[in-house]
Each structure stands twice: as structure tokens, then as C-alpha cells.
Structure 1
Amino acid sequence: MSDVEAMIQSGLLSIYERRFPSRKEIRIYNIKGMRGGWETELYSFTIEYREATGRRTEDLVLRIYPGDDALQKSVKEFKVMRALHELGFPVPKVLLLELGDNPFGRPFVIMERVEGRSMRDVLLESAGERRRELIMLFCKILADLHFLDWRPFVELVSPDLSLYETRDAYAWIDHKLSEMKRAIDRFHRDEFGPLLDWLEARSMEVPCERPSLIHGDYHPDNIILRKDDVAFVIDWGAADIADYRSDLAWTLLLVGTYWGPEAREAILRGYEQASGHRVTRIEYFEVMAILRRLLDVSVSLSEGAGRRGMRPGAEEKMRRDADHLRRVYALLIARTGIAIPEVERLLSALT
């Protein structure tokens, strides 16, 4: 057992003994680090204990939150996943949220472990009709999410109910652009000003058709597919109430710049088929997604990933994703004609 695994084991044992005094003879084992993206630390583990009804064994996942917004993100993810699970939406069941003093020094959530593989891995080895079926499943889950009643989730993701109850179709885009401007100002990234100006100049072209609950980081690595093809959506830390096109655009940006334009087109067509309507002005929202991606990278590589709510070590993964980031920047130029010299210098320094 590595030092990290031993620390996780010891920490979990002390937490369970404190939180569940009726559970006796607690054993924690099979601790394994799980593949993650830029944001959180994930560990799978097995817990065994005795209670009044007999011995029990559970396979679980520990999700530890890093970054400046760890507290807010952990609370939001726990509450959103709990509400979705109660509605029957395909998410793992969350079991425990810890915010304060704990052995890991950061907020964390424990949830059930879904035995399966990432949809990304399954897609990469699939072809023909099987691949088309998986893409449609992927798109249907996202469309189903966007058509849920968003109102019960407002208090879980935002303190400002008035933003969503207004009849002003431009309230959301105005709010989002103001939020982006604050981030640019906060991190002194004036080089992104022309891109924000481009978005503001066209904001009247994208009234919000309807608010939706969005995932915020929906891509095939955040779908766990069981052997029976039942899918579960994970990683809800970026959930929000927003224009559904902002969610779809983020997905299209990631799929298109990792897997290619044909994959982007397949997801867009699949989403339109699953939702039953044509998506308009999606390119505008892709530019918003590009700004988010490049700002995340710019700040993380100069000030540390924690400043954008990501896990320690995410910077190295960003460097390994240099080809993806170059494609993101190339798409920016193709969509807007805007070149950002500071981003070009950053990309040229990546290996």
C-alpha cells in the first residue's frame, strides 16, 4: 500500500467511526486512485462492517475537492446529485458530505461505485451500429437533462432566483458575460478583452429560449457504462441553471477538439434528434466555451490550477493536452478571426 493509499484508509476509518458509531468492526480496503480529469481527486474503496442486521460490504468512491471554490462545489454537487437520484435520473447515489475539519483537509463526497467503464473507452473501441447507438444514448441523456423541470434545482445551484424568474430573455446571457468579465478582471487577463467584446456585440442574437438544468462538463469520460449498457452521469460540480446551448456547446468543443469535427457533427445531430428540435446559434456558445477553456488554462499555468477550482497536478495534464488546446485556439480564430498573442506564446511553450 502506498503512502497516499494508507492516508486515505486511515482517514476514511476515522470518519466512519465518528459518523457511524453503530457500525462495528469496520474494515476499509481495495483503495485505488481513479483516472480523473483536471478537477478532482477520486479514489475507489471497499468498506465492510457489522451492524444489527449482520455484516455488510459496500463498494464506494471518495471524491476530494481542491481549489478556491471547493466548499461551494462540493455542496452543490452533493445536493444536485441527491435530487437527481430521487427523480430517477441516472446518477450514482451520494451517501456522505463532509465540509469541515476532516483528515483530508478538504471537502469531500462519498458515493456508490458504479461498476463499468467510461463511455469514452467503449466508444473508442466501437464502430458501425454499436457506435451510433452509444452516441444516441449519450445525446439522449443530455437532452433528457435539459428538459427536466429546472425550478426545483435553482436553490441548489444559485442564490439568485430572480435571474431565472424574469421574463427578460437576455437576463441569462447578460449575467454570464458579466461573470466572465469579472473573471477576466480578477485574474488580470486583459488579453481576453477583445473576445469578450465579440461576445457582447452579438449577445442580442442569443435570447435564452428556456432555462435548463445543465451539467457543465458533459463528455464521454463523465459517463460510466455498465455491462448492461445502463449509463450513469458523474462529475456534477459545474451544474447550473442556464441556456441549454451553453452546456451542449461545451460538449461539442471538447468532442470536436479531442476527437475531430466529424464527432462534433455526430453529437450535434444526435442531440437535435433526441431533443426533437433544431439547435440555433450554437457557434456563439462554442466561442463562450473557448473563452472558458483558454482562461482556465492561462490562469492555471501561471497561478496554479487551484485558482480555477482544479486539483493539484492539473497543470501537467494541461501541458500534455497541448494538441487539444492548439485546436481550441485554431477554432477561436476560425469562429471569430481574433488572435491573442499571449495565448499563442503560452501554447508555443507547451510540450
Structure 2
Amino acid sequence: MYEEIEKKLGGKIQGVKVLKSGWSGEIISINVSNCTNKYIIKTYKSSTEGLENIKREWMGLNLLYNANYPVPRPILNSYENNSEPYLVMEEIDGDNLWTCYTKSSNEDKGILIDKFVETFYKLHQLDVSIVEKKYLEDLTDSFIKKEINDIGELIEKNNFYSFLEVISWLNNNMKIINKNTLSIIHRDYHPWNVIVDSSEKVYVIDLLWGIGDYRFDLAWTCTLMERSGYNDFSDKLLKKYEELKGKSIEDFEYFKVLATLRWLVNVNISLHTGENLNETRKEEFKAFILPLIQNGLKLIENSTHISITI
């Protein structure tokens, strides 16, 4: 991988530093001898879906960068080596927003939340036709149906039948959900996926992205923070988003259930199959994720009165 990158960038790689060895890959900082810029290599080498993940993130980076949305500049990618696909982007010199937030005064916390939410809101306001014009015609119901269908297929494939009652609840309540036009969504937006640079500008990373209802994206972020015990942050980001929107978020409880079910199915697949997990960190992942699963189940029960035992 390094030799290939050196050839493409025309310089020797120096100062290699692994910033994160995550559940499904690595994030590596490098210098290149012929330039002053620093770069990030992102790999999905332990993921069975690594190739598709890299392709999708690369596409999202280019779309958003060209739309002047604050993401790192995409540099190059490799799809040829299916066992270790990777992409290279510019490195943003800064820290994740959560680290900055926890170290800040109350006044600065408010400023950071405002930037965090304003950047999120800006994503949802982008013209979806930059992806494909056909998405201009789609509405909320088409997104929900696809999401429920995708979740249902995963449930059947992995024998997670205890979740089927929640699928029925989502289907039964879908008809009363207000319809919106769709937006570009991040699908995993949270303060660890936002970098604050030295000039206090924010950049968005780790794009799973797709086209969907912005309320799903917002619900994903709020429920992620609530599962982790950061309810105050969730409440403040929702309040700020509603302020920017100029109205309350309709049907939000429904989207919180939908987002939580999608997350629960995803993490349970990883736990049961080991798919998308770094082999050396499976036990660490289990210890980290099991309390969060219980919090997710509790949210679904509080909203739907459906009790799930895993």
C-alpha cells in the first residue's frame, strides 16, 4: 500500500502515525517528502464490505468537496486490492469536536454546538440533484419503505426474529408520517466525526452518506448521544436544529425508533458474525457495545411498548 501511494504522490512517505485502529480498519497520518501537506490514509482492511465502503466514501467526499461543503480534500484511492482497499485525503490539523467540547467553558460549548448543528443542517440543505436528479422526485415514504425493507432482509438473513414486532410497528405507523422531499444525509453524524481545526472551522469526516429524510439523520445522532449518556448534548442539538428549521421536528419519535432499530441490527450482525470487526478487538468491542445495546432496547420499549430480549 505505501509503495503504491508513494508512486502516485511522487515522494517518500515519512512520519507514519496510526491515529485510530478501529473496529473495521485504520486511520493513518503520513507526511510525504515532496510537500508540506499532511495526509490521512483510511483503510477497511478487516471489513468484508471494505471495497464498497471505500467506493462510497470516496464518492461522497468528492460530491461534497465540489459542493463547497466542509470535508477534507480527497486525494486518491485504490480499489484494485480487494483485501485492503484504501483512500487518501488531506489531514485536517485539529481535534474532534467532542474533545474540544469537553474541555470548553459553557460559553464555548454553546458556540461548538451551534457550529456542529449548523454544519449538519447545511448538509441537509444541499441540492440532492448533485448526486442524481431522480432524487428530486422522491419523498419520505419511499425512503422509509426502503429502510424498513433493508432492515427486514437483515433480520431474516440473521434470524433476529425478536425485532420483527418493531418492523410491524414501523409499518403500521408509517402511513401517518408527514412526507418531505429527501436530503443528502450523513448516516453517522456525531461529534467524534467532526474535526475542529486551529482556526475553529469544522470539517465532517467518516461519510457513510445516502439520500433520505433528514429526520432519520437527526434521530440517528440524537439517539447515539442518548445511548451514550449524553442526553444534555442531544437536547441542545435538537433545540438548535429546530431553531434553524423554524419549527418543531415532526414525527421525531418514529424516526428515533427507525434509527435505533437500524443501529441495533447492524451491531448485532457484527457481534454474531464478526463481520466488519477487527479480529484483534472483538472482545473490546463487545464490552463497549453491550451496555449501549441495552439502552437502545430501552428506547424502543419506551416509544413502542415492545419489549425485546436478545
Q: Structure 2 length normalisation: TM-score?
A: 0.92
Give the aligned partner of residue 35 of structure 1: 20
Give the aligned partner of residue 91 of structure 1: 71
Letter in 2 for 1:31: V
Give the aligned partner of residue 264 of structure 2: 294
Is 1:150 aligned with 2:140?
no
Cα distance in 2 for partners of 1:169, 1:301 equals 31
Over 3 Å counting, the alpha-carbon distance change for 1:14 and 1:170 in structure 2 is closer
Unaligned segments of structure 1, at least 5 residues: 1-10, 50-55, 156-160, 343-351
Give the stretch that moved more between structures: 124-133 or 223-232. Answer: 124-133
C-alpha displacement of 1:207: 3.8
Unaligned segments of structure 2, at least 5 residues: none
1:198-253 Cα distance to aligned partner (Å, 9 max, x none)? 111111122431100000100000001012110000001x2000001110000001
Work out whether residues 246 and 285 of structure 1, in 8 Å CA contact, stay in contact via their aligned partners in 2: yes
Give the aligned partner of residue 104 of structure 2: 126
C-alpha displacement of 1:178: 1.1
Is 1:62 aligned with 2:41?
yes
Cα distance in 2 for partners of 1:188, 1:215 equals 28
Identity of aligned residues (%): 26
Give the stretch that moved more between structures: 132-141 or 333-342. Answer: 333-342
1:160-210 Cα distance to aligned partner (Å, 9 max, x none)? x4xx35466522211221111111112221121111111111111224311
Letter in 1 for 2:168: D
Cα distance in 2 for partners of 1:36, 1:148 equals 32
Give the aligned partner of residue 289 of structure 2: 321
Aligned length: 308
Letter in 2 for 1:111: M
Cα distance in 1 for partners of 2:226, 2:251 equals 17
Give the stretch that moved more between structures: 240-249 or 164-173. Answer: 164-173
SS in 2 for 1:106: coil
SS in 1 for 2:127: coil
SS in 1 for 2:132: helix
Work out which of the two has the higher radius of gyration on C-alpha atoms and give 1 or 2.
Answer: 1
C-alpha displacement of 1:28: 1.3
Cα distance in 1 for partners of 2:132, 2:216 equals 17
SS in 1 for 2:144: helix
Letter in 2 for 1:121: T
Cα distance in 2 for partners of 1:330, 1:117 equals 32
C-alpha displacement of 1:101: 2.8
Over 3 Å counting, the alpha-carbon distance change for 1:114 and 1:177 in structure 2 is same
SS in 2 for 1:97: strand
Give the aligned partner of residue 53 of structure 1: none
Is 1:109 aligned with 2:87?
yes
1:319-345 Cα distance to aligned partner (Å, 9 max, x none)? 223333322222121111211222xxx
C-alpha displacement of 1:262: 2.2
C-alpha displacement of 1:297: 2.2
Give the aligned partner of residue 208 of structure 1: 179
Work out whether residues 61 and 113 of structure 1, in 8 Å CA contact, stay in contact via their aligned partners in 2: yes
Work out whether residues 140 and 275 of structure 1, in 8 Å CA contact, stay in contact via their aligned partners in 2: no
Over 3 Å counting, the alpha-carbon distance change for 1:28 and 1:172 in structure 2 is same
Over 3 Å counting, the alpha-carbon distance change for 1:111 and 1:167 in structure 2 is closer
Is 1:232 aligned with 2:203?
yes
Cα distance in 2 for partners of 1:187, 1:246 equals 24
Is 1:46 aligned with 2:31?
yes
Work out whether residues 223 and 260 of structure 2, in 8 Å CA contact, stay in contact via their aligned partners in 1: yes
Work out whether residues 297 and 318 of structure 1, in 8 Å CA contact, stay in contact via their aligned partners in 2: no
Q: Structure 1 length normalisation: TM-score?
A: 0.82
Letter in 2 for 1:33: V
Cα distance in 1 for partners of 2:132, 2:287 equals 36
1:103-146 Cα distance to aligned partner (Å, 9 max, x none)? xx321100000000100101112232111111111110011100
Letter in 1 for 2:153: R
